[in-house]
Amino acid sequence: MNLRLVCRLLGIIALLIGGAMIFSLPWAYPQLGYRRALEARPDEFEWGGFFGLLGSMAVCGVVGLLLLRLGRGSESAKLFRKEAMAVVGLSWTLATVLGALPFLFAGTRLGSASDPHEFGPRMTVIDAMFESQSGFSTTGATVISNLENTHVIPHCILFWRSSTHFLGGLGIIVLFVVILGQGSAGKALMRNEMPGPSKEGSEARMQHTAWAFAGVYCALNAVLVLLLMMFGMSSFDALCHSFGTMATGGFSTYNASLGHFDSPAIEYTVTLFMLLAGSNFTLLYFALVRLQPGRLFRDVEWRVYASIIGGATLVVLAVGVSGGDFINLGQGLRYGLFQVVSVITTTGFGTHDFDAWNNFGRGVLFLLMFVGGCAGSTGGAIKVIRHILFLKILRLEVELSYHPSVIRPLRLGGEPVEDQELRRSILVYFCLILTIFIFSWMIVVALEPDATWESTGGDVGHKLIDSASGGAATLNNIGPGLGTIGATRNYGHFSQLSKALFTVLMMIGRLEIFAVLVLFFPGFWRAR
């Protein structure tokens, strides 16, 4: 393990994160226009948030320079797989710690779910780490109530909170590859940075993929900002919600999320862009830039992805209208389609309290939490391609049990899959995800007293279901869950240990799972 090389690369990432904080500073000035905020004067400069960001930038600079100093002499060193995995895992840990500093230095508070005028206690270190990891992992889970109150969270810190979505959605490592052009190093880094089983190609192709991903991502962000402003959002709200949409993150500037605007135009626009954000960005590049939409529609993963969305929407619509959850078909389509796309893409925005739906509709959303978007998208969760491969492998194994002499190749889109290790890796992945989910579920149930539910007016009888949804929502980078962490609530009432567990789950869900687990094996850190 070349630790000097790892330190040098981490130092560059620390400086990039500190530099990104600059864009949040101007929002401390009232001249840029405030949202309607409780307990705040429209001409009040946010000194706390401003100096909190400056202090955080200084720490990022010091940490970055120290790491660069430790990495001196590694400029010409070659980045191998072990170093790449170390950089990916440690960079997200470093980003979480550095990204938490503005919340702490600015004195951000938790607010109160019961009183919009109550500031609540200050964030603890774990609270800030939870919020930072939720942003960078594009989960969108939050511990903060009263987002509209600038005494709870300053305007400029709220922008930084959404900016972590932009950085996380683009991918710190993808950004790194684009800016520095890492060649074979970039190929090794991106293999662990962008979860999914099919990311092979030459170094030049990997570099091109990074540029295509970044270009399409930034362009779609810009288009969405303009559309949201055209439909009545302020520039601040449009930027923050665009970051949350294209990163499939879900951080909003309002407690009611997008439901605050009560605008069908905004909701359908965001639905379309969430759908795009959950698609493979390389295919979007060919469809939107090279005007070859056929490549997108011919892709087996995208067709299954679109079919799941269509089927789930029809089920939610039919059950919701017949059960009285929706007044009519128009309202059912508006709320049902939005929520289905929001959950399957792991965005987590809300326009309607889906936790008030009937049990069947809520069950559909819970199952969608484990699906995810396409490989090469900003979406989290397992990914559609893994489900396709898992079902194909299962079919072949069943066939092999009664026809042991017949060996059929694994095919995807009509083409044979040559990777002999793929079957094992897919099965191991599903087993690991299931094991982590079950153990985290049991731990949360054991850690949380009944008072956690009683304090929020929740039903203690739903403790098992709510804890399961919390594990699923954080492990799959959804954000909101069911019950006490439903669409209109947050994670602020959980114990510090549970929040720490959720923080780890968000990181595992965002990265290739093995890129996180290997960090805990002593043999990984030994020299070759």
Asked, for residue 348, whether it belongs to a domain, the answer is no
Asked, for residue 160, whether it belongs to a domain, the answer is yes
What's the whole-model pTM score? Answer: 0.89
Between 200 and 50, name the one with better pLDDT.
50
3-state secondary structure of 181: coil
Instruction: Give residue 379's pLDDT.
Output: 85
Rounded mean pLDDT, 19-28: 93
- Single-letter amino acid, residue 121: P
Q: Phi and psi of 137, rounded to 5°? A: -85, 0
Would you tell me how many other CB atoms lie within 10 Å of the CB of residue 496? 13
Asked, for residue 59, whether it belongs to a domain, the answer is yes
Distance of alpha carbon 97 from alpha carbon 474, whole angstroms: 18
Give the length of the chain: 528
- Model confidence at 202: pLDDT above 90: no
At 316, the pLDDT band (50, 70, 90 cuts) reads: very high
Distance of alpha carbon 404 from alpha carbon 524, whole angstroms: 38
Asked, for residue 27, whether it belongs to a domain, the answer is yes
Distance of alpha carbon 483 from alpha carbon 355, whole angstroms: 6
Between 359 and 36, name the one with better pLDDT.
359
Q: Phi and psi of 13, rounded to 5°? A: -65, -40
The answer to which of 283-297, 328-342, 391-405 has the lowest mean pLDDT is 391-405
**Total domain count for the chain?**
2
Tens of pLDDT, residues 255-273: 889 999 999 999 999 999 9
Share of the chain above pLDDT 90, in %: 39
Instruction: Give residue 341's pLDDT.
Output: 96
Instruction: Give residue 181's pLDDT.
Output: 46
Asked, for residue 517, whether it belongs to a domain, the answer is yes
Domain ranges, residue 95: 3-193
Asked, for residue 398, whether it belongs to a domain, the answer is no
Find tokens 């949409």 and name the residue. Answer: 245
Mean pLDDT of the chain, nearest integer: 83
- Model confidence at 184: pLDDT above 70: no
Asked, for residue 61, whether it belongs to a domain, the answer is yes
Distance of alpha carbon 216 from alpha carbon 211, whole angstroms: 9
Contact 110, 126 (CB under 8 A): no
Tens of pLDDT, residues 320-358: 998 888 889 999 999 999 999 999 999 989 898 888 888
At 144, the pLDDT band (50, 70, 90 cuts) reads: very high
* Longest distance between any two alpha carbons in the chain, whole Å: 79
Tens of pLDDT, residues 220-246: 999 999 999 999 999 999 999 999 999
3-state secondary structure of 179: helix
- Model confidence at 126: pLDDT above 90: yes
Asked, for residue 151, whether it belongs to a domain, the answer is yes
Instruction: Give residue 498's pLDDT.
Output: 92
Contact 490, 143 (CB under 8 A): yes
Domain boundary among the residues 146, 175, 193 is at: 193
Find tokens 């072990």 and name the residue. Answer: 82
At 410, the pLDDT band (50, 70, 90 cuts) reads: confident
3-state secondary structure of 389: helix
Domain boundary among the residues 160, 193, 226 is at: 193
Q: How is residue 378 written in tokens?
A: 């900003």
Q: How is residue 62 written in tokens?
A: 């010091």
Which class for 72: exposed (0-12), middle (13-18), buried (19 or more C-beta within 10 A)?
exposed
Name the CA dihedral angle for 411, 198, 277, 288, rounded to a multiple of 10 degrees.
-80
Domain boundary among the residues 145, 170, 193 is at: 193
